[in-house]
Amino acid sequence: MGYHKKEIKPGVVGQTSKVLEELQEFEDAMEQHNRIMAAVELSDVYGALEALAESSGYSMHDLMIMSNATKSAFLDGTRKSKSVIPEVTVTLNHEVPDTPEQKTPLFEVTAVNKMSYPRINYKMISDAVLFYRNHGFHETTVPWIVTTETLKKTLPTDKRAFTVDDNACLVGSAEQSFIELMVNDHLYNSKKYVAVTPCFRDDDIDEIHQKYFMKVELFCFFDKGMGSSEKNAYDTVKLMYNCAFKFFSEEAQKYSNSSELTFVHVDPRQCDIMLNGIEIGSYGTREINDEYIVAYGTGLAEPRFSLALMNQKRESTK
């Protein structure tokens, strides 16, 4: 069987059987946890699909035009997602524990009724990561679970945590993930990072707030013991803000010519970017343990940004 563990029937180039063959080989590579092989097979899926399109009298450009039309229909609300999941009520049993000895049971999830969950645009998340990499940010993998001590450094006082163990919580954003790595000496001073994580929040569910979502986070820290200052962090935040504003502007222009991105000054250490009245990114600095000054920013939050685009398009068509 060669590289593959399953017996896969060969297909014919230019026919659907070849697309199915390559998809099965991709699935087999993923089941083997072989990312390199999976990438090769995924490129073969593209080639097989291209051959099928050409044999049917189409080009990949034709398919891209239709794909973009479908995406636009979902964004402006013309077409609704068919994916429906149970709405849940999440019961947070307690505050963040003050000591590791305090027992922290798992949060309780209870199904309530049916609801359509906003679609997360994973393609845009991938595009965002590539954009920030091309602007000097180093992509890295970060933990989704951190200690309660780390979580409490950025957790608002009126919010509670999603606990998973005696001294561990799901992250509210990758900033907490980065801080966990920073205090354990797993990051480099003044290096700019980008990462993607789910975010778990103690928020009331409404049109733009969910219990969890996906976020591209920008992060950089400066060790005060190495001569770094608040200005270093401030200059980095300005860079993060300018990069994010450029990315958001370019994405917004794809869906509407009336981009309404605005700057909001929250306090001396924080500013936000708004799109059509919806906050789509926050940028600022904070001190950690009197040792570090961190700069943080939103690279992209989904599905919030897509919802803001949807609102923008609705406004532009009124």
User: What pLDDT score was predicted for residue 105?
Assistant: 39
Q: Which amino acid is at 31?
A: E
Instruction: Write out pLDDT tens, residues 279-297.
Output: 999 999 999 999 999 999 9
Q: C-alpha angle with apex 296: 290 to 297, nearest 5 degrees?
A: 165
Q: Looking at residue 8, what is its pLDDT? A: 85
- Compute the average pLDDT of residues 62-82: 62
Phi, psi of 152 (to 5 degrees): -70, -15
From residue 142, alpha-carbon distances to 114, 146, 154, 155 in Å are: 33, 10, 17, 18
Query: Domain boundaries in the chain?
Result: 16-58, 119-316
User: What number does CATH give the domain 119-316?
Assistant: 3.30.930.10
Is the pLDDT higher at 16 or at 138?
Answer: 138
For residue 244, pLDDT over 50 is answered with yes
Over range 165-171, report the average pLDDT: 87
Over the stretch 33-50, which tens digit does the pLDDT of each residue have?
787 888 888 888 888 888
Q: Any residues with CB less than 8 A from the CB of 251 and at least 6 apart, and which?
A: 124, 127, 305, 309
Please state, in angstroms and rounded to a whole number, the distance separating the CA atoms of residues 161 and 141: 22
Looking at residue 29, what is its pLDDT? 80
Local confidence band at 22 (pLDDT 50, 70, 90 cut-offs)? confident
Residue pair 67/73 in contact (Cβ under 8 Å)? The answer is: no
Q: What is the predicted pLDDT for the residue at 85?
A: 37
> Using an 8 Å Cβ cutoff, are 236 and 216 in contact?
no
- 98-115: per-residue pLDDT in tens? 544 444 333 333 444 444
Of the candidates 153, 143, 180, 142, the residue with the CA atom closest to the CA atom of residue 96: 153
- More confidently predicted of 8 and 318: 8
